[in-house]
Structure 1
Amino acid sequence: MKHFVLILVCCLVAVGAYVETILVSNNHNPVGLTYCYSEMTGAMEKGEEISLEGECRKATCEKNGRIIIRKCTNIPISPCGILAADFTRSFPLCCPQPRPCSAND
């Protein structure tokens, strides 16, 4: 029972995704007022969300023209290790996760 509770707590904490939000400046927008633009994302329509290829990040073009990047951060240390980022999954499920401890750990 003790191991089950530990695994459950690790899973709940991990699914909450340790997310950091980064504001990308949009001062030099070459694509007009109906789009957001950054070198990292290229042109995005307002309200559009994209996953950044090869990274566990999500970019959102806000109505005010700013781009918000969400990424994984502050992965908790687990006594049983960390599961690596899984780039085949969407954000935030792609973030590294604490490895659940098994009964043998």
Structure 2
Amino acid sequence: MKLTLFFLCCVSAVYCATFVELVDPDNSEVCVSSNPDVGIMKYNETKLLKGKCVEATCSPGYIIYLGCGKVLVDSPCVLAPVDLSKPYPQCCPKTLCPID
């Protein structure tokens, strides 16, 4: 399982920011997060974090958080702001470039 988690983090890091919170692996039905915005989740449940472009998913022994990664843009392109009216990953900032 550790190898799978490592691989998942490496692949995810290309497209997003990834954070893993370890939770009690002996709890057979839920993840109990130390983050009050997440709270208690059932296995395979996904929650969007209020006020953030982040989703949390409960798996046995850990919660994986996925959010927008850092994006660098060169002029004349600009980075559109995060759109919290949309769920992750549609809420992530987009690169906007003028059409020549």
TM tier, shorter chain?
0.7 to 0.9
Q: Contact (CA 8 Å) 1:18, 1:75: kept in 2 or not?
A: no
Distance 2:88 2:74 in 1: 21
What is the match of residue 29 of structure 2? 34
What is the match of residue 89 of structure 1? 86
Between the two structures, name the one with larger relative contact order (CA 8 Å, sep ≥ 6): 1
Equivalent positions of 1:1-105 (< 5 A) are: 18-27=15-24, 32-40=27-35, 41-62=38-59, 64-79=60-75, 80-103=77-100
Higher Cα radius of gyration: 1
Q: Give structure 1 regions of 4+ aligned residues with deviation exceeding 2 angstroms.
A: none
The alignment-based identity, stated in percent, is 27
Q: CA deviation at 1:28?
A: 9.1
Question: One-letter code of the match for 2:62?
Answer: R
What is the match of residue 9 of structure 2? none
Query: Normalization by structure 1: what TM-score?
Result: 0.70
Q: Contact (CA 8 Å) 1:46, 1:65: kept in 2 or not?
A: no
Q: Contact (CA 8 Å) 1:78, 1:99: kept in 2 or not?
A: no
**What is the RMSD computed on CA atoms of the aligned residues?**
2.1
Question: One-letter code of the match for 1:95?
Answer: C
- Aligned residue pairs: how many? 84
Q: Which runs of 5+ in 2 are unaligned?
A: 1-13
Distance 1:75 1:28 in 2: 34
